[in-house]
Structure 1
Amino acid sequence: MLGEKIGTVQEGNQEDLVVKAKQFDIAVGDILLILSRSHRKERVFIFRVLEIRNKLYGEGDEKKVANNLLLSERAVKPSEELIYLEIRGKVLGYVQREEDKWVFYYPSRIPEPFASVYRPKRGADEVLADILRNEISGNLFVGFLRTGGNTPNIPVYLPSDFLAMHMGIFGTTGCGKSNTMMVLIKSAIEANMKKPRTIGFFVIDPHDEYAFGSGENKHGIHHIVECLPDQIRKNVIGEFYYLTPVMSGTRPEIRPYARELKIAWSEILPSDIISIKEVKEQQMALLYLAHAKWKDQWIKRLLYTDANQLADETDYPLVTVLAVKRRLSFLHYSKVFVEDSNLSVLPQIIKQLENGNILIVNTSLISEEEQFLLTTIVSRTIFSLRAALKSSSYWDEFEKHAEIRLPATFLGKAKNFLKDFYISHSDGKKLVLKQVEELPVVLVTVEEAPSLMKPELMKHGSIFKDISRQGRKFRVGLLIISQQVTPIDNTILSQINTEINMQLGNEREIEAAINNASKNLRGYQTEFRILRKGDALLTASYRMMPIPIHVPLFDKLCVEFIERMKKSEEVVEGQDVSIL
């Protein structure tokens, strides 16, 4: 039932075991199953291979045989019957049958001595999938289970509700992070094809590669959008899904689904600037004073008013005024941040996210600080709205809380559509609000995370630190994408509850990933070193074991999805797309 018997348990404890096995083709990373029947209870222990050694029966004989073979051409190699494998690895846990289903337990027990060890048969994945069902279920596809160098046809999912507990994708250049993001975006679209839509996804695309693909991916998210039936597309994609700073540089076929990215100066708060730039105490105080004094016009006054006049009006030294002007000067030349509030699409962005839609933002044509400010403003706005909602039972209470937290320019445009999302019913006297738990999870990607989440920027407070600590209760999550783990602030790292760890650049980063993981990865150093492109170790606080996965090429998944859409005669929202 469990597969092919390859050996027996030799020794070990409840976490680390040594298996004595025949000369089979075993690889680091393979998952083996150990059948235990101790105390009249049948259990299956899940064992992950971390180290393999060739051994010869007879202590010390390996050296003698090697010397003989080296020195004499007539020396005879030992027969295969005299050679065995010594396999060391980790017990990930065990399962046992309870009421006709497998229940997973942490490794608090040990299999009996000389228990049989099995390798799941290739091509017969049902047994392993059934055993691991609780560890790989959910509604957001991330990849296929990986065992050593093989990838069984066992899909691995994440539950979208846990995205609000924050997620990290860590890996060096070329390891497959962009492909992983495209797979996640596609998965979010598929998850949202069921009622109710569960994920609002704000995706930063620093290389403008997600919409049409690049490199190995000849298809992109736009091909998914285009193949959807009209009604599904209208409901799942919404009014648009692509944001770009310059519409004239956008491919014609995507323009019906695109908007030009503009954010008004009046929608920026001092805390947004402080979150992306290092400022001294006096400069920070001047920013807050200007906002308190001039409200929505604070940036305009700081940029356009003569420095000497500002020094007189604010009673701050000229050197401080000049320093603040320099820090705001990038807004003068920005394609994204504009003085005219009528051009802003921030209300539309929030509307899309609250509606459970995806947004891909092309930031390849703007500076890093513009990208960081955009991510900060969107994160702060959705977080503030959800916090105001959580603090209120009725619409009039929500309005008061929102007016304290958010710029009037934004609220004036957003109130009408926010009523559609936030109001549950009227009790005859007042408008009763929904619970936050009834709304989609909103996931915001943070690209180039080390530059935005370094400790130096966290010392004066940051919306990202606030979201990392409190976002779960407001159903707002961060998806942090980084080549490195070490530069990111420890407070942020400690709040990430789902990690997709891919190839990393050096031993220091590997050690940091192991320390940061939500599940114990001690002993996995060797596996980190042999990860291939697309391979990853998936850990999550709500799972009981680390799951090795391979993220398939988006192109293949996209072509399969398009074919499913073509074959389906009729698709209605709410239908399980997996049957199409």
Structure 2
Amino acid sequence: MAVISMDSLIKQLGKRFGVLAESDTYQLTVVAENADVAVGDLFLLPSRRGGQERFYIFRTTQYANIMNRALEIDDIARNKLTMPDSYLSQNLAEELLIKLTGIVLGYAEAKEREWTFHKPRRLPEHLSNVFRVDPQQPEVAEVMRSLLASQLGDEGLYVGDLLAGEQALEGVKVFLPAYALSHHLGVFGRTGAGKSNLMMVLLKAVMDYNQAATQQKSQEVNKPLVSMLAIDPHDEFRFWHGAIGGKDGVHGIVKGYSSEERKALVEPFYYLTAREVGEKGLERQVMLSRADVLPDDLSSISEFSEQQVAFAQQQFALWGEQWIGRVLLGDTQGGAGGFEGNVDFLSGTVAAVQRRLSFLRRGQTRLFLPFDPDVGYEYESLLPEILCALERGRILIVDTTLMGEMEQFLLTTVVARSLFTLRRTLRSVARVDELPRAIREAFGNDDEQGQVGLRTLADDLVQRVEDGRLPYGEGGVLKSPDQLPYVNVVVEEAPSVLNPQRMKFGSVFRDISRQGRKFGIGLTVVSQQVSEIDDGVLSQINTELVMALGNELERKEAVRNASADLSGFERELQVMGKGQVIVSASYKDVPLPVQVPEFDQME
């Protein structure tokens, strides 16, 4: 199919709005007739410079009222004030103009079959005509879809419609590719900017994508599914506004599935909570075990000194999966006579570690169950099932309203670290029969070397590999991480976990930020603050969804860390309305202003 011609597209743009006055590769100045414009409005400049058909896309950052002839507008204002009747009798309508200043986002160039978008390395000719991208004209939306097709995307995860000034261009949909969730996203915005609604729209987009991908598998089109571990600190995502007459949330989406779709896309569960939920269904009470936790998990979410870290690691080496119970009981002396690391620590160090573990005492947590088989506390944990679900393309919403802050952070850390360990182990072996031993070693369990590690968890995971519940082999052939779902872990209240102080003793999130993409694991970092997040994590984020930010420091940090150049968008980051977001990504040549739809109003 031939590309739509420039002349055909110009006809759809309607009346000329203005004329190009000055230009360089960063900034354009346009003179136009008096009209109501807004910062952020979009304009198109057709050009045939050098014999090549191009449309330049211009975004206004400021504008001013000017006069046509050599008239000083302050003199006219004084005349209007002192001589209103005689002055207003004159017809000055033709003298009133506006001057727009803004940035060149880039240009679309005509090729054989499509318009391709390029960064702003060229300029339109002198005195080019300028056309306004008017959201009230449906024809203009069609033009923008043609010119920006390579930037908008046509499949994947729908996040909203392109924003022109203060209004969305309905039908000009913006998509993120599904693989973006195997990399890292940043969702930044102040309170009230619409982050929760954005996350709800993103969850729906993932579920819609998985549903379509599952249907295509029957046609032998193999697209990886997407999994998300979505932390929900306000318990919103399950029912959304269904209780007050609004739209049902993920519960409503699941309810609309057929029984076959629930089996393929939802089972064994989609909603995890610390509350009791009665009969086991697709909603489940989440329980983990102390036997799932490593010392590094705790030092990455709480303040530990070097001596305290060394003591915790020594106790894990001595007691393995029972180390937390032994430390809390004060039994910190034996268990492995002759162990090289069995050195004495100051009583203050021991007491400090006990205080940091106190939230895991029996009776102080409903989430992490004790583990001591000698006195009847067997291994009870949903962690293996959670890992299996994430490896099969599932959305898991975790209600954390009844969890303490430390419980929430530890849950996220343990799941992320366990999944990362499994994916890395899978990449390290060449055959399926090598996996059991590799998994045990990865979780610190090597009986030949006298290392207990996380033995019970490793036993459970090995059993699930062998019976197929962990889908790492097919027909005796080992799968690679590329054949498994893209997995994304949402880190809510990110500055509390991803700040530089927490990173000094290591963190699974730092490891995932640096290496996760090669194993198909990504992070979604949700925060009101950009400045408080570790620079090493920020530098690895390659998709930013930036909403209104509260102060100048945060706006500067958002601009500095953006994957695409956000110069010229600084003012919008202060005045953007609810649900408005700038999408910046390494795989898009231009930042895109987007209006996220209200989930309640989505079909």
TM-score by length of 1: 0.91
Per-residue CA distance 1:306-334 (angstroms, 9 max, x = gap): 57889x97511111111111110100111
1:144 offset after TM fit, Å?
1.1
Larger helix share, 1 or 2: 1
CA contact (8 A) 2:409 2:497 kept: yes
Amino acid at match of 1:524: F
Matching of residue 405 in structure 1 with residue 423 in structure 2: no
Question: Residues 391 and 471 of structure 2 are in contact (CA less than 8 Å); yes or no, is this contact kept in structure 1?
Answer: no
1:154-193 superposed matches below 5 A = 154-193=172-211
Residue of 140, 156, 167 corresponding to 1:139? 156
Answer yes or no: is the 8 Å Cα contact 1:54–1:86 preserved in 2. Answer: yes
2-structure distance, mates of 1:167, 1:506: 21
Task: Tell me the amino acid that sits aligned with residue 205 of structure 1.
Answer: D
Residue 164 of structure 1 deviates from its aligned partner by 1.9
- Paired residues of 1:422 and 1:433 also in contact (CA < 8 A): no
Aligned to 1:381: 418
- 1:299 offset after TM fit, Å? 0.9
Residue 81 of structure 1: how far off its partner (Å): 1.4
Q: Within 2, Cα distance between the matches of 1:12 and 1:216?
A: 52
* Residue identity (%): 39
1:401-429 Cα deviation digits (max 9, x unpaired) = 32222222222112243353544445xxx
- Tell me, yes or no, if the aligned pair for 2:500 and 2:534 is still in contact at 8 Å: yes
| Distance (whole Å) between structure 2 residues aligned to residue 52 and residue 166 of structure 1 | 36
Q: Secondary structure at the match of 1:525?
A: coil
CA distance in structure 1 between the partners assigned to 2:82 and 2:247 by the alignment: 55
**Partner residue, 2:169:** 152
- C-alpha displacement of 1:303: 1.0
How far residue 219 of structure 1 moved from its aligned partner, in angstroms, is 2.2
2:138 pairs with 112, 123, 132, which one? 123
1:71 maps to what in 2?
82
After TM superposition, the structure 1 stretch with the greater mean CA deviation from structure 2, 48-57 or 264-273, is 48-57
- Matched with 1:500 is 545
- 1:271 corresponds to 2:308: no
Per-residue deviation at 1:58? 3.1
SS for the counterpart of 1:296 is helix
The answer to whether structure 1 residue 552 and structure 2 residue 597 are counterparts is yes
Matched, 1:302 2:311: no
User: Residue 322 of structure 1 corresponds to which residue in structure 2?
Assistant: 351
- Contact 2:156/2:177 (CA < 8 Å) preserved in 1? yes
**Paired position in structure 1 for 2:382:** 345
Is the contact made by 2:485 and 2:520 (CA closer than 8 Å) also made in structure 1?
Answer: yes
CA distance in 1, matches of 2:181, 2:92: 54
1:366 aligns with 2:403: yes
CA contact (8 A) 2:156 2:175 kept: yes
Q: 3-state DSSP class of the match of 1:327?
A: helix
Shift of 1:444: 0.3
Structure 2: distance between partners of 1:512 and 1:60: 43
Distance 2:52 2:200 in 1: 44
1:25 to 7, 30, 36: 36
Distance in 2 (alpha carbons) for counterparts of 1:63 and 1:163: 54
Please list every run of 5 or more consecutive structure 1 residues that lacks an aligned counterpart in the other structure: 561-580
**Any conservation in 2 of the 1:308–1:318 contact (CA below 8 Å)?**
no
Q: CA deviation at 1:375?
A: 0.6
Partner of 1:472: 517
- Deviation sequence 1:543-579 (CA, Å, 0-9, x none): 000000011111111xx2xxxxxxxxxxxxxxxxxxx
How far 1:60 sits from its partner (Å)?
Answer: 5.7
Tell whether 2:527 aligns with 1:482.
Answer: yes
2:225 aligns to what?
198
216 and 164 in structure 1: CA distance in 2 versus 1, 3 angstrom threshold: farther
**Aligned counterparts of 1:403 and 1:70: Cα–Cα separation in 2:** 85
1:393 counterpart = 2:424: no
1:15 to 26, 31, 44: 26
Q: What is the match of residue 80 of structure 1?
A: 93
Alpha-carbon contact 2:291-2:379 (below 8 Å) kept: no
The match for 2:283 among 236, 242, 258 is: 258
CA 60–405 in structure 1, closer or farther in 2 if over 3 Å, else same: farther
Task: Give the 3 Å change call, closer, same or farther, for CA 436–308 of structure 1 in structure 2.
Answer: closer
- Return the alpha-carbon distance in structure 1 between the equivalents of residues 483 and 561 of structure 2: 31
Letter in 2 for 1:262: M
Superposition CA RMSD, Å: 1.9
Instruction: Pick from 36, 51, 56 the counterpart of residue 62 of structure 2.
Output: 51
Aligned pair count reads 549
